[in-house]
Structure 1
């Protein structure tokens, strides 16, 4: 029974995510989700009680995987800037290729039209980035005058904007190429002894190959 309920919730979540990506929150109805998922409207209300609750579940699902991703790169042997770059590629891949993550990003952007408090990723992200920048400062790798907590907020907001607005950017470049260019620009200001290309190459070599 629990396995069936879990499968139903997953099917509803994924169907809702597909529709939220394509049509947005306002353009998606409970009946649309029912038709797409093959589940009844009653099943939606039983598991999530409202469209708002289902949207919140999509956003929380988007954010829930990122702490696990960060834990994969917790090794003290990896320099902090390399960790930051590797993690950014993992999150960017999620935001570009995973429908639930894409839906979560769109729902956050449309949060003012949702009658519920939509959680934000920025506080947790900024804290993690602050810690990495502080570690880089301790190692003498952070540029003088860069304050970790203030820089972290700027980095997180700029990164999230780059990822979520990527479809609307001119040029049609692959998201990996866009992120490469972004890091080459950003690292010139972050590194104590700037060598962005070499650092980016070292970090990119640590990124696991896609199956």
Structure 2
């Protein structure tokens, strides 16, 4: 990495948690300069505008989440346990180096759905990547007869994601972690019925 690439990476690493917690609209230039210790000119000398920083920050946050999940999924040998690894990560996300503010897909989707088409697209792409990964595990489980032949991999994947994201949202909204645990138990039951 050259100096410019290192500076860009530094800016992203320092601002990614802020964008994930405060959102695009809530993150100010002052937040970015305070987090990095750089001047406005230094930040905008490396990025054209706030949009570019936000987009790079979303990518960085997603890479952190995907790396955690890949790590846990790769430890498992059965398709069922690979799916349960998702539940484990989201149930115990405080144990993992999860991005500050929680799930970047949920945070970005809620804020950007009507306000920021580019960020909305990034969140949508991340959702599809996640859905496809889960559906691939389910398809493999059908092939190996671990799951029922009549299982619809895409429907099951979308349902799993909806339950996981809903669990996070409700838990954050109410401050009650037991709601998250209750909903994640429903994910476990869904996986058991596949």
- TM value normalised by structure 1: 0.70
Q: CA contact under 8 A between 2:16 and 2:57: conserved in structure 1?
A: yes
- Corresponding position: 1:183 with 2:182: no
Among candidates 162, 172, 183, match of residue 177 of structure 2:
172
Q: Which residue of 1 aligns with 2:152?
A: 147
Q: Which residue of 1 aligns with 2:116?
A: 114
Q: Which residue of 1 aligns with 2:167?
A: 162
Structure 2 CA distance for aligned equivalents of residues 70 and 181 of structure 1: 21
The gaps in structure 1 that reach 5 residues or longer are: 191-211
Deviations 1:17-55 (A, max 9, x none): 333344332122223311232111111112221111111
Larger radius of gyration: 1
Q: Which residue of 2 aligns with 1:123?
A: 128
Q: Which residue of 2 aligns with 1:209?
A: none
Structure 2 CA distance for aligned equivalents of residues 5 and 178 of structure 1: 47
The gaps in structure 2 that reach 5 residues or longer are: none
Task: Classify 1:37/1:71 alpha carbon distance in 2 versus 1 (closer, same or farther; 3 Å).
Answer: closer
Count of residue pairs the alignment pairs up = 187
SS in 2 for 1:173: helix
Aligned ranges for residues 34-183 of structure 1 at < 5 Å?
34-65=33-64, 66=66, 69-70=69-70, 73-74=73-74, 78-90=77-89, 93=93, 97-99=97-99, 102=102, 104-105=104-105, 106-111=107-112, 112-114=114-116, 116-117=118-119, 118-119=121-122, 120=124, 121-143=126-148, 145-169=150-174, 171-173=176-178, 177-178=181-182, 180-183=184-187
Structure 1 stretch 15-24 or stretch 118-127: which is displaced more?
A: 15-24
Task: Classify 1:113/1:96 alpha carbon distance in 2 versus 1 (closer, same or farther; 3 Å).
Answer: farther
Task: Classify 1:173/1:47 alpha carbon distance in 2 versus 1 (closer, same or farther; 3 Å).
Answer: farther
Task: Classify 1:36/1:74 alpha carbon distance in 2 versus 1 (closer, same or farther; 3 Å).
Answer: closer
Task: Classify 1:144/1:173 alpha carbon distance in 2 versus 1 (closer, same or farther; 3 Å).
Answer: same
Structure with more contact order per residue of length (Cα contacts < 8 Å, sep ≥ 6) = 1
- TM value normalised by structure 2: 0.75
Give the superposition deviation at 1:155: 1.6
